Structure 1
């Protein structure tokens, strides 16, 4: 999609990667792996669910989601369910579960790496206060 849109826009238009963190609420769930109590900054409430990091590409007019990750709580006491110990550790599902236990800056950096490896580029990556130290990783 980005390759199709790029020629249609002005060469003067600035492009950027945007990293959004939102809460993926699962308030009615009880036994979802890595379900955790997470804080929603928009409603100022704790909810059951996940933090969802979404990396998107924008040209200041269009936003295209490129990659995402669901994160559980880093604090074990906030996690309501743990990883199923019987899962095969060679699967992509296990790798996603391991990713869910990493910090936001680490996952945001990995999302950017995956995107750049795919050949998707942007002029800027705005830095937000919840990503301390990410600029040192880039």
Structure 2
């Protein structure tokens, strides 16, 4: 198991997608009654607080629960719910650049942070690049990835900060769905 976790060539995004697709197939095989009109995608970002700043990808991030800046990362998760079960489809880890574009760290802390040279052909290279991408753009890519692989939904449930015209347009374009705001 540990070798699989450390393998930079392992495509975690496709692995999670395949698990989701297999789960859907099992539900259909066993004729589990799920209301297809109630299938929704759920977008959520969660703060992971870290005590060390040498961990790759750690930055100062704003924690909306405590209303303060902490050292950590944000995990953006896309899940699907059919009214009976809820399971993840995709996730990405993000850091925040901050005002001075130094991720809220001193130059010494940045220098001491773990770094690894990655092969651009491996999935871990793309995952590392996602760290600095906008969570909003990543959310649109995740939704698109899900639809491309046959995972459909009628609407998206998300926190209010996700609300913007470009995401609402993307949701409607992908599946003619609705966008619902939650606090």
Q: TM-score when scaled to structure 1?
A: 0.84
Aligned 8 A contact 1:35 1:79 in 2: no
- 1:9 matched residue in structure 2: 33
- Number of residue pairs the alignment of both structures matches: 137
CA distance in 1, matches of 2:104, 2:118: 18
Q: Displacement of 1:41 after TM fit?
A: 1.0
Deviations 1:33-92 (A, max 9, x none): 221011111222322111101100001231111110001113323254478373333322
Of structures 1 and 2, the larger Rg is shown by 2
RMSD: 2.3
Aligned 8 A contact 2:34 2:84 in 1: no
> Please, which of 84, 102, 125 is the counterpart of residue 61 of structure 1?
84
In the TM superposition, what are the counterparts of 1:87-126 in structure 2 within 5 Å?
A: 87-126=118-157
> Please, which of 93, 98, 102 is the counterpart of residue 77 of structure 1?
102
* Structure 1 consecutive aligned stretches of length 4 or more whose deviation exceeds 4 Å: none
- In the superposition, relative to structure 1, how do residues 127 and 20 fare at CA in structure 2: closer, same or farther (>3 Å)? closer
Which structure features the higher share of helix residues? 2
Residue segments in structure 1 that go unaligned for 5+ positions in a row? none
CA distance in 2, matches of 1:124, 1:67: 17
CA distance in 1, matches of 2:85, 2:37: 11
Higher relative contact order (CA 8 A, sep 6+): 1
CA distance in 2, matches of 1:44, 1:61: 33
Q: TM-score when scaled to structure 2?
A: 0.65
